Structure 1
Amino acid sequence: MSVSPAVMLTAIGLILGLIAGFVMHRADFCIAGMFRDLFLFRSFAKLRVMVLYVVVAMALFEAARLLGLLPLYPFPMLGPATFAGILGGVLFGIGMVLAGGCVVGTLYRMGAGSRVSFIAFAGLIIGSALYAEFHPFWKSLLTATTMFSGSITIPLYLNLSPTPLVLISIIPLGWLVALWWRRGQLSSRLYAKGALHLWQAALLLAVVSLASYLLIGMPLGITTAYSKIGAMGEQILFPEHVANVSYFATQSISCRNPLTGMMFKGGPGPAMDSIALIQFPLIAGIILGGAVSALSLGEFTVRHPAPWRQYISAAVGGVLMGLASRMAPACNVWHLMGGLPVLAFASIFFLAGILPGAWLGACMLTRWVVR
C-alpha cells in the first residue's frame, strides 16, 4: 500500500520535530540563552556551541551538495540581504531575551509545561499577525535597502563555487572549535539525570537540519506558520479584514519537493497549504519532543508560577519576536541554523542585528524584569 506524499512529509516533519524537541530539552539548547549569557554574565560558553553547530552543518550541507543530494540550493524562502533586515534582527534579539527563549526554545519548554513559554508562544502568534498590517510599507523598505544585487549567498554574488568559500570559513572556525575542545571549554559537568552536553546536542541538531534539507527541501523553519495560525484566528473573528490584507495573499514558497516530487505552494495566509504541511507537524513535534523528554525525566509540571513581571516580559518578547521574524524576514533558527551554513547574506546581516538586540534585551531584562 503506497503512502501519499502529503502523509509522508507530515510524518517526516513530526519525527524531525520530535527529535529536535527532545534533544533541545535534554541539553537546554536555546539560542536566546546563548546570546543572553554573553551580555548578562560575560560568558561565551554557550555561544561556542553555536560555532560548533555552524562548522558541522556547513560541512554536512556542502558535502550533500557535492554529492548531488541538494537540488534546491540555496533553499527556498531564503531572501537577499537588506539593511532593513538588520533592524529586524535587532528587534528579534530584544524579543528573544525578554521572552526567555527563542521561537524553538519557547516550543520545547512549553511542551515541558512552562507557563511563561506558553505566554511567549501566544505573543509570537499575535506579533506575527500584527506584522500583516504594515507589510506593504515594510516590503517596500526591504526592496529599497536590498544589497549585493539581490544575490542570496556570498558564492552567488562572487560567481564562485561554494566549496572554496566553505573551506575558508571552516578552517579558522574549526581551529577555534578544536582549541576549545582541548581546553575543555565545550563541555561542563552534568548534574541532571539524562542530560545531554550542549556540544552533543549541536551535533545531533546539525544532522536533523541536514535530514530536513534532504527530505523536505530546506532546513528547519517554523515562523511562517505562526503568521498562518494568527491569520486563522483572525479569519474566525474578522473574515472580511483577513480577505483584504495583502500579506495573507502572498506566496512564500513555490518549488518541488525533491523527495516526493510534490509541488510546494503556500504562504502566511489562513489556507491549509504547503506551509502548513511542512511547518505545523514540525511545531507539533518539537512541543511533543519537549513533553516526552520532561515526562521521562519526571520534570513535567505546570504548577510552577513565575513573578508577574516575567509573564509580562514573555508576552512583550513574544510579540516582538513575532514581528521581527516577519521583518527580518525569518527567525534565528532559520538564519543561524540554516542560512549561515550556506553563507547567506541575509543570515549574516541577521546575526549583525541580533547581537546588539540581545545586548539591549539584556539591559531591559535587568532593569525592569529581574532586577
Structure 2
Amino acid sequence: MQAIDVSVLTAQVLWAVFILAFAFGALGVRTQFCTMGAIADAVNFGDWRRLRMWMLAIGVAVLGFNLLVAKGHFVADQTLYGGNRWQWASAAVGGAMFGFGMVLSSGCGSRNLQRLGSGSLKALVVLVVMGLAAWMTLRGLTAVVRANTVDTLALTLSTSQDLPSVLGALMGGSRTTWAAVLGLLIGGGLMAWVLSAREGREAVVLAGGLGSGALLLGVWWVSLQFGHLAEHPETLEEAFLGTASRRGEALNFVGPVAQGLEWLVFFTDAGRRTTTGLVAVLGVFSGSLAVHLLRGEFRWEGFRDTADTARHLFGAVLMGIGGVTAMGCSIGQGLSGISTLGLTSMVALAAIVLGCVGGLRFLTWQLERSA
C-alpha cells in the first residue's frame, strides 16, 4: 500500500465517523437520548422510558461488540479501553466527578453538543470550560495530580482487563467463547429486560436505543476494521487510522473536546492531525444543528442568573477533570467502553450513575433550602 493510499483511507475513515456521529446527534435530538435525563426521569419522576432506551443501547452495543469479538473481527485489547491495568480508582473517582458534574451542567458532553446545535450559549460555555479542564487533566496541572494519586492505585493483571479475557484466564476457555457467552447473557439480557415492558417497546424507545447502539457499533467497525492496518507502510507497525490514541476508538466527548481546543490553538502546527474524536464532536453538533434548523427550533439561550452560571461552570470543570480521569464520559465509558466489558469501564459506569444520583439529590436539597 502506498502512502497516498493511506492518506486517502484516513480521509475516508474520518468522513465515515463524521457521518455516523451526525446521525447519532440527530437521533439524540429526535429521541431525547440522554444519560443524565434518563437517570433524572427515573429518580425524580419514576419514568423509566429513557432509562430503558439507554439500557437498550448498551445491550445492543455489548451484544454486537462481543459477537464480533467471537467472530474474530474485534479484539477488546486493541481498543482505547484495553490493556492489562485495571484502573479502578481512577474510574471510581473520575466517574463520580463526571456524574455529579453533568447534573450541574444540564447534561454530559454529548448532550451539550446537541444543546449547542439548538442555539444554547450555555452549552458553548460548558463545552469550552470542560475542554480546558480536560486539557489540564491530560497535560497540565491537574494531570500531575491525577498521575500521582488515583492513577497509581491500579491492579496489573496477567491478561487484558476485559471480562471475557479475565474469565478465560481464571476458568479456562478461549476469550472468543467467553465473549459470545457474556455478550448473549449481558447484552441479550439487557435487551430482553427493556423489551419485557410495554414502555420499552414504544417507537421512540426502540428508535433511540437500537439506533444509538447500532451507530456506536458502526463507529467501532470503522475504527477496528475499515481503518485498521496490520502494518503501516511508513512505520511498519500496526495502525488505527485517524485515532488520537493510535488504538481503536469509538464515541467519546471529553478528551476530544480538549483535542478540538488544542487543534484550534495550534492549527498552523504541521504536526497536528484531525482525529476521529474531533470529527465525532463536529458530527454530533452538526446533526443536532440540522434537526433544529429543519424543525424551526433554533433559539439563542443564555444563563438565567449568576447562580445558574456558577453551577454550570463548576459542573463543566468536574466533567472535564472527571472525564479524563475516568478515561471516558457517560458515552465514552457508559456506552463505548462498557461494550468491551472492560473492568475499568464497569467501575466508571457505576460511578457515573452514582455521581449523577448524588448530583440530583444535591439539586433537590438546594431547591428545598431556597424554598
Q: One fold, TM greater than 0.5? A: yes
* 1:272 maps onto 2:272 in alignment: yes
Give, in angstroms, the shift of residue 69 of structure 1.
2.7
- Counterparts in 2 of 1:178-257, with a 5 A limit? 178-180=195-197, 184-186=198-200, 197-217=204-224, 218-231=249-262
Structure 2 residue corresponding to 1:365, chosen from 346, 363, 366? 363
| Rounded Cα–Cα distance in structure 1 between residues aligned with 2:250 and 2:211 | 14
Deviations 1:45-96 (A, max 9, x none): 32122211121122221232333332x4344221533223201111011111
Question: Matched residue pairs, number?
Answer: 326
Structure 2 residue corresponding to 1:116, chosen from 122, 125, 129? 122
- Counterparts in 2 of 1:70-219, with a 5 A limit? 70=74, 72-79=75-82, 80-131=86-137, 132-147=140-155, 149=157, 151-159=160-168, 160-161=174-175, 162-180=179-197, 184-186=198-200, 197-217=204-224, 218-219=249-250
CA RMSD, Structure 1 to Structure 2 (Å): 2.7
Q: Which residue of 1 aligns with 2:235?
A: none
SS in 1 for 2:200: coil
Q: Which residue of 2 aligns with 1:249?
A: none
Q: Which residue of 2 aligns with 1:355?
A: 353
Unmatched 5+ stretches in structure 1: 189-195, 237-268
| Rounded Cα–Cα distance in structure 2 between residues aligned with 1:234 and 1:368 | 38
Structure 1 residue corresponding to 2:39, chosen from 15, 35, 40? 35
Give, in angstroms, the shift of residue 362 of structure 1.
1.0
The share of aligned pairs that are identical, in percent, is 20
TM-score (norm 2): 0.79
Deviations 1:10-45 (A, max 9, x none): 211221121111100111111111122333334433
| Rounded Cα–Cα distance in structure 2 between residues aligned with 1:96 and 1:300 | 23
Structure 2 residue corresponding to 1:63, chosen from 67, 84, 88? 67
TM-score (norm 1): 0.79
Q: Residue 98 of structure 2 contacts residue 323 of structure 2 at CA under 8 Å; is this kept in 1?
A: yes
Unmatched 5+ stretches in structure 2: 169-173, 225-248
| Rounded Cα–Cα distance in structure 1 between residues aligned with 2:255 and 2:357 | 26
Distance 1:232 1:295, change over 3 A: closer
| Rounded Cα–Cα distance in structure 2 between residues aligned with 1:167 and 1:357 | 29
Deviations 1:146-182 (A, max 9, x none): 13627421111122431122223245434322321xx
Q: Which residue of 2 aligns with 1:7?
A: 11
Distance 1:234 1:323, change over 3 A: farther
Q: Which residue of 1 aligns with 2:244?
A: none
Paired amino acid for 2:155: M
